[in-house]
Structure 1
Amino acid sequence: MSTDHLGSARAVSVIVPVYNAVAHLRACVASILAQTHRDLEVILVDDGSTDGSGELCDELGAADARLRVIHQRNGGIGAAQNAGLDVASGSFITFCDNDDLMSPHFVKRLLDVLVETDADISCCRWWNVGASTAAASLAAHTDDPPGEVLVFDDAARSYQTVFSSALRRLRRDELRYFSEANWGKLYRASMFDGIRFPAGRYAQDVSVAMDLYLRARRVASCSDRLYFWLQRGDSVSHSLRSASYFHDILRAHAHSFTAALDHGIVPARAYFGLTALRRERQSVRTASDAAMYREDRALVCMLKSRLSARQRAHCAGLSLLRRAEVLVYDRTVHRRR
C-alpha cells in the first residue's frame, strides 16, 4: 500500500464500516478526527445504509479533507472492511465500529508503541460503556496517564490460551489477552497483504484472527484504555440468533482451531468457540437449518478427535470456566444502555 496520498511513513488509515448508524456516527467520527496524531486518512464505508447514514457520511466528508467516503451495496461488515482495505493508503491500519469512540490519544499511543518496539500489531485495553454514558466516559478519561507495555512474539499462542477472565487476572496475564475484534488495535498495513475478511458472513474478525496472529512477528500490548466500546441492545451481537449466525461463528472458530493445531498450539479458545454448535441446534427452524447443523456437528466431532485426551480435558475445563464468565458478562456488561 502506497503512502503517497498521505505523504508520511507514519500515516494511519482508519477504516469505519457504516451501516444504519445515523444516531451515533457523528460522535464516532468526531472522536477519530480529534486524534492528537494528525496524519490520518479516515475511510467511511457506507454499506448500503437505509437510515440516512450514507448522506451523513457525505456531509462529514465534505467538512474534512481527511475523510474519504465509499458507498456500496449492503454486503456486511466484512465486505465493508475489505473495501476500506482495498483503498487504504496509510502505512498503518486501524478499525473503528461506527458507534464506538476513540480516546484522542488512541492512534498516537498505539503508533508510538508499535514503532518503538518494532511490532507488527499494537493493542490497548477498552472501556465497556452504555450509549447513554459514552460521551461522559470519554471526557472523564481523556487525560488518563499512559500505562505499561508488554511485548511478546507468540501472539497466536497467546490468543488461543489466554482468554479466561478469571485465570488471566489470577496470573496477572491481562496484557497477553486480546479479543478477536479488529478495533482497539493498530496493524502494519503489510499484515493484510493477501488477507481479507470473508464477505457476507458473521464473525468475520474471528475468521482472520489466527491468520493475522500467526503472521505477526511481535505484538506490543499496552494497559491504556483508549477505546470505548458501546453496548446497545439493537447491535448485531445482541440481537441475531439465527442458525446461520451461529453457523458462521462455528466455522470461523473451526478455521482457527485447525490453524492452531497445524502450528502446534492447543486451540483452547477455538474449542470454546465450537460451543456455538449448541446455540445453532437451538436455533434450527427449517430443513436447511437442520442439514447445516448436521454438517457442523460432524465437523466438530472430527476436530475434537484431533486432540489428545489431555488436550481435550484441558480445553473442556477452560470452556466450562469461560461459559460461566460469559453468562455473567451477558447479565451485566451487555445490558448497559
Structure 2
Amino acid sequence: MPEFSIIVPIYKVEKYLNICVDSVLRQTFNDFELILVDDGSPDKCGNICDNYESSDSRIRVVHKNNGGLSSARNAGLDIATGKYIIFLDSDDYWDDNTALIHIHNNLAETDADLLVFQAKRFYEDANRFTYILNIEVDRNRIIDTNANSAIEYMLENNIYRAAAWNKVIRKSVLDEHQMRFKEGYLSEDMDWCGDLLVYCKRFDFYDFPLYVYRQQRSGSITARKSEKLVFDKLFMCQKGYRQAMALQKEDKDKADLLAGYYAYEYSVLLGISGGIKNKDLLAELKKLEILLDYDICRKVQKVNQLKRIAGFSLTRIALCLFVRIKK
C-alpha cells in the first residue's frame, strides 16, 4: 500500500499535461502511486500518459470513454490502493517539491482523516499569481481533537471550501461511506466536501501554497458560467440543506456547521446568477435564502447583513456586480 494515491483526470490538456505530471514526479517523497485517467481525450493526452507509464513504475494509466470530471475521478478511486487520496486537475500543478514529505510528517503526527493545504491562483493571460488564503492560519485550531471546533474555525475563516483538489483524504473514510462523485453535474466538489465534514473525525493543515490553480483557461469549466452551473450549484445547496436539517437530532452542532458550509457556497451561487432569466430557477434560488442565517463564515455574515438591510433581490444584484468587477 503506497502512502498516497494521486488521481489526475485528463481531458484535452495536451498543452499542460507534462507540467502537471512532472510536478508530482519531482516530489522528494517517493511513496505514492500516480493514477492518470485519460477520459477519452481526443488529443495526444492518451499517448503522453502511456509514455509516462512505461518510464515509471509508480504510474498507472486508465483509458476510458469520455464521461466528465466526476466519472474520471471515480475511475481513479476504483483502482486506488493508497492510504490517502489526493486529486490534481490536469491543467494545474504543484509548486512545492517537498510537499508530500511535509504532508506525510503532518499526518504521522496527527493521524488526521483529512488535511487541507494552501493554494494559489494563476491567471495565465496576465502571468499573475494570487493567494487563495490571505490569513495566517492557526494550525493548532485545526488539529483540535474536537472535530466540530476544528470545522468551526475553518469555516469561520473560509479555509475549508468546496474543492476536491486542495485536500488529502484517508481512503478508508471514502470506502466506509462508499463516497463517489455525482456524475453529470457541475460543481461536483460541493456535496463531496460537505460529506467529508460529516464523516471525518480529525483534520490537519499544510500552510505552504503548493497547488497552482489555473484560472479562466479557455474551455475550462470555470470559464463557462451557465444556467446549468447555477442549476447544479442550487441542487447541491438544496441537498446540503436537507442533509443538515436531517442531522439536527443526531448532532445539532455538526448540523449547523454543515449548513454554514453550504451558506458560503450559496453566497457564491448568488454572485454567479446574474445572467439567469429563468423565473422558476430564480424563485427556487430565493426559497433557499434561509441558508444565509447560518453565517459562520465572516463573508456570509456580511452578505446576511446586506440582505437584512436591502432585501434578497438587491443583495443578489450587488453580489453579481461584485463578481463582474472582480473578474
Q: Is the 8 A contact 2:240 2:262 kept in 1?
A: yes
Aligned twin of 1:114: 107
Specify the alignment match of 2:20 in structure 1. Answer: 28
Equivalent position to 1:80, from 72, 81, 87: 72
The letter of the residue matching 1:294 is D
Q: Does 1:128 align with 2:118?
A: no
1:198 to 167, 182, 191: 182
Shift of 1:47: 1.1
Q: Which has the higher contact order (CA 8 A, sep 6+)?
A: 1
Say whether the 8 Å CA contact 1:15–1:84 is kept in structure 2: yes
Q: Does the residue aligned with 1:68 lie in a helix, a strand or coil?
A: strand
What is the distance in 1 between the residues matched to 2:320 and 2:152?
17
User: Residues 256, 154 of structure 1: CA spacing in aligned structure 2 closer, same or farther, 3 A cutoff?
Assistant: farther
Task: Give the equivalent residue in structure 2 for 1:149.
Answer: 139
Amino acid at match of 2:47: E
- TM-score normalised to the size of structure 1? 0.75
TM-score (norm 2): 0.77
Structure 1 pair 22/326, CA: closer, same or farther in 2 (3 Å)? farther
Percent identity over the alignment is 28
Shift of 1:268: 3.2
Q: Deviations over 1:266-308 (max 9, x none)?
A: 3234234335368558335xxxxx5xx626734762x556x7x
Question: Does 2:19 correspond to 1:19?
Answer: no
Q: Please state whether the residue corresponding to 1:179 is helix, strand or coil.
A: coil
Alignment partner of 1:61 is 2:53: yes
- Letter of the aligned partner of 2:243 in structure 1? A
Partners of 1:296 and 1:326 in 2: how far apart?
13
Shift of 1:236: 3.1
**Counterpart Cα distance in 2 of 1:85 and 1:234:** 28
Comparing 107-116 with 37-46, greater Cα deviation is found at 107-116
Task: Tell me, yes or no, if the aligned pair for 1:247 and 1:280 is still in contact at 8 Å.
Answer: no
Cα 1:30–1:133, aligned 2, differ >3 Å: closer, same or farther? farther
Note the C-alpha offset of 1:133. 8.6
CA shift digits 1:21-64 (9 cap, x unpaired): 11111011000011111011100111121222222212222221
Residues 1:207 and 2:191 are matched in the alignment: yes
Amino acid at match of 1:178: Y
Matched, 1:96 2:71: no
What is the rounded CA distance, in whole Å, between the counterparts of 1:219 and 1:270 in structure 2? 19
Equivalent residues in 2 for 1:1-337 (5 A)?
3=1, 6=2, 11-102=3-94, 103-131=96-124, 149-150=139-140, 151-153=143-145, 162-163=154-155, 168=157, 177-193=159-175, 194-234=178-218, 236-261=220-245, 262-263=247-248, 264=252, 265-266=255-256, 267-274=259-266, 276=269, 279=272, 282-284=275-277, 290=278, 294=280, 297-298=283-284, 301=287, 303-304=288-289, 311=293, 317-319=301-303, 331=325
The one-letter code of the counterpart of 2:144 is: F
The one-letter code matched in structure 2 to 1:120 is D
* Equivalent residue letter for 1:57: C
Provide the C-alpha distance between the structure 1 equivalents of 2:171 and 2:321, rounded to a whole number of angstroms: 36
Count, aligned residues: 294
* 8 Å Cα contact 1:18-1:46 kept in structure 2: yes
Q: RMSD of the alignment, in Å?
A: 3.4
